[in-house]
Amino acid sequence: MTDQPRITLDPDVLAGKPVVRGTRLSVEFIIGLMADGWSETDILRNYPTLAHEDISACLGYAFFRD
């Protein structure tokens, strides 16, 4: 479970992977885009349902995950 309200874990969505609330975009996917060189601006332009806070939540989740 996560204490980050923008990240959810639901066994019925992407096999329980952590995703941005209200989407099917996994934390892993967002971090992968950034690892591939996408900027925050690139991500927000291509996925307009996301906000800066969602990307920050993904980074925080990945950083603090055990």
CATH of residue 36: 1.10.10.10
- Per-residue exposure over 22-33, b if at least 16 CB sit within 10 Å of its own CB, e if not: ebebbbebbbeb
- Angle at which helices 27-35 and 52-64 pack, to 10 degrees? 100
Residue 2 lies in a domain: no
> Is residue 1 included in any domain, yes or no?
no
Question: Residue 15 belongs to what domain range?
Answer: 7-64
C-alpha dist (Å) from residue 4 to 45, 46, 64: 24, 23, 11
> Per the domain annotation, does 17 fall within a domain?
yes
Domain assignment present for 58: yes
* 43 domain-assigned: yes
pLDDT digits (tens, 9 = 90+) for 5-46: 899 999 999 999 999 999 999 999 999 999 999 999 999 999
Any domain includes 56: yes
Q: What is the pLDDT, as a whole number, of residue 66?
A: 52
Structure confidence at residue 3 (pLDDT):
66
